[in-house]
Structure 1
Amino acid sequence: MKLIVLLLCVVFAASQSGVPCGVSVVQPITKRLVGGQVAIPGSWPWMVLVTDSLGYIYGSGSIIDQHVILTSAHIFHRVFENSLHRWRIYAGEHNISTVDPHEKAYYVRGVEKHPGFNITSLENDIALIITVDPIAWNDATRPVCLPDAMHGFQVGENCYLAGWGSTKYTGNDETLNQLMMPKLDDNICASHWNDYLPVTEICAGYENQQKDFCVDDVGGPLVCKKSDGAWYVEGIASSGGDCSQTSDSPGVFEDVTQYKDWILNAMRGSGYPYQY
């Protein structure tokens, strides 16, 4: 009886927004490769590209609701309400030089930055983008799950970051690439940056392997697959990103578990409460 009730609850939760969170129709490549590689189209369906009206890339984000994108606050630190019409959010994107089958552009209605965001220290580097129109669900466009206390990020866990940032000649800059990034101990990032904040930040990536995210990847989600089979956004690419051939440092991500309450409150305040 308990199992039946649980299954009914899961089906009901998914039906509220049409699709379950963290489940991709096209399965991503998750072999234990330490190098970056081109992602399979549609395998990271929550990824969005953030640009201006001229097509200049400012970063990435992840879909958590049909009207809400999770991203980095410092992408928008000089954006004013009267300039929001100049921004575009591309969902269903894969190759930025072509129009993909499920690609669609969305306008920005508002940006909710964390009230404690500091552009100098990049403390509380998290924001929500609210779209004008609802994002259409399809096989290439779906939401990612938000983590909770039961879905914590463990040292040694292999997670993934996807984005359209420069590959520094190691891959195709025009397509969505992915990189496996293991969670590292906070002490490693603290040894590279004296302003690392272990309470609200995550250390992930590599030392001395020239593998990291680039500036255009900022705001993108660090996602981990949990035992329930769904993908959860554990981190937001924030600082430390250095994709040059001399990079010897891991990346720094905002720890989404530490901002869950703020995200939920901000979503409710925007009129789009979290569905999962």
Structure 2
Amino acid sequence: MHLLLLLPALLLPPRTEAGEIIGGKEARPHSRPYMAYLQIQTPVGLSSCGGFLVREDFVLTAAHCQGRSITVKLGAHNVKKQERTQQNIRVRRAIRHPAYNPQNNQNDIMLLQLERRAKKNRAVQTLGLPRSRGRLSPGTQCMVAGWGRVGLNRKTEKLQEAQLRVQRDQECSRRFRIYKSQTQICVGNSRERKSVFRGDSGGPLVCNGVGQGIVSYGSNDGTPPAVFTRVSSFMPWIRRTMRRFKQSD
């Protein structure tokens, strides 16, 4: 089975260009105020990823969403419009997990320290993180959200969302040899045409109001399940890193 890092559509050749949440629907505007849209400058041009606000000056995303420079757009619904709710903040410091391995996509998690604190309001809020290392039970219903295409030939600039269920680890270990249950979550029923796909990287898996996962990788044709970084496994590193850098002004 070919692996696909769920990278931005702009980095892909036209015949594979897609970035949709498959089988999703448009989210109610600003109903997911923790969502962040990342505009990334890379050596080959501009790209984009998802992320989520976890402190007024920190966004959590996937480590493979790295670049020369990153600007975070908060409070957005339509990322191609200049909405009054939007806050555009440059990233001061991108901190990848020290054990991130791009070869097998292990420890695919990154904290982005913003140059200034976001102003919290109805369109911009933080998302809570796990308080324990307890595992999600198979069948748990969660939500994912992201921006991108809704089909190979249909674009959307508006936030899309979908409900996905946590699967047994065996569903992913059978499909992906590199799957590691200690630090990853298997999400999406293989019998349903609903999944994250290219361009959704870095976005959150939200279960019972808590950010439990980060979109990491999936199969080359976009069929579920997909693999998410397990946030609870990295809470000591997240807390330690955010403590190390003082709150921005």
Smaller-chain TM-score bracket = 0.7 to 0.9
Matched, 1:250 2:240: no
Q: What secondary structure is seen at the aligned counterpart in 1 of 2:180?
A: coil
Give the distance between the partners of 1:126 and 1:52, measured in 2 at CA.
16
For residue 151 of structure 1, report the CA deviation from its aligned partner: 6.3
Matched, 1:73 2:63: yes
Match of 1:50 among 29, 38, 49: 38
* TM-score with structure 1 setting the length: 0.76
Which residue is 1:3 aligned to? none
Matched, 1:211 2:191: no
Structure 1, gaps ≥5 residues long = 1-33, 226-230
Describe how 1:32-181 pairs up with structure 2 within 5 A.
35-52=23-40, 56-76=46-66, 79=67, 83-84=68-69, 87-149=70-132, 152-168=135-151, 173-181=156-164
Task: Check the 8 A contact 1:212/1:241 in 2, yes or no.
Answer: no
Letter of the 1:52 partner, please give it: I
Give the distance between the partners of 1:171 and 1:258, measured in 2 at CA.
37
Q: CA distance change for structure 1 residues 121 and 259 in 2, over 3 Å: closer, same or farther?
A: same
Give the distance between the partners of 1:152 and 1:146, measured in 2 at CA.
13
Match of 1:237 among 205, 208, 215: 215
Q: CA distance change for structure 1 residues 209 and 139 in 2, over 3 Å: closer, same or farther?
A: same
After TM superposition, the structure 1 stretch with the greater mean CA deviation from structure 2, 192-201 or 145-154, is 145-154
Q: CA distance change for structure 1 residues 159 and 216 in 2, over 3 Å: closer, same or farther?
A: same
Matched, 1:259 2:249: no
RMSD: 2.2
Q: CA distance change for structure 1 residues 152 and 257 in 2, over 3 Å: closer, same or farther?
A: same
* 1:238-272 C-alpha deviation (Å, 9 max, x unpaired): 01165x5xx43311000001001010001011224
Give the distance between the partners of 1:95 and 1:180, measured in 2 at CA.
21
Answer 1 or 2: higher relative contact order, Cα 8 Å, separation at least 6.
Answer: 2
For residue 150 of structure 1, report the CA deviation from its aligned partner: 7.5
Task: Check the 8 A contact 2:39/2:71 in 1, yes or no.
Answer: yes
Higher-Rg member (1/2): 1
Letter of the 2:224 partner, please give it: S
Structure 2, gaps ≥5 residues long = 1-21
User: How many residues are matched?
Assistant: 225
After TM superposition, the structure 1 stretch with the greater mean CA deviation from structure 2, 53-62 or 114-123, is 53-62
Letter of the 1:184 partner, please give it: Q
Q: CA distance change for structure 1 residues 258 and 57 in 2, over 3 Å: closer, same or farther?
A: same
Letter of the 1:60 partner, please give it: G
Q: What secondary structure is seen at the aligned counterpart in 1 of 2:91?
A: strand
Letter of the 1:43 partner, please give it: S
* TM-score with structure 2 setting the length: 0.84
Please identify which structure carries the higher strand content.
Answer: 2
For residue 160 of structure 1, report the CA deviation from its aligned partner: 0.5
**Identity over aligned residues, as a percent?**
28
Q: What secondary structure is seen at the aligned counterpart in 2 of 1:216?
A: coil
Q: CA distance change for structure 1 residues 241 and 220 in 2, over 3 Å: closer, same or farther?
A: farther
Letter of the 1:49 partner, please give it: Y
For residue 212 of structure 1, report the CA deviation from its aligned partner: 1.6
Which residue is 2:245 aligned to? 270
Please identify which structure carries the higher helix content.
Answer: 1
For residue 171 of structure 1, report the CA deviation from its aligned partner: 7.2
Letter of the 1:215 partner, please give it: R
For residue 166 of structure 1, report the CA deviation from its aligned partner: 2.2
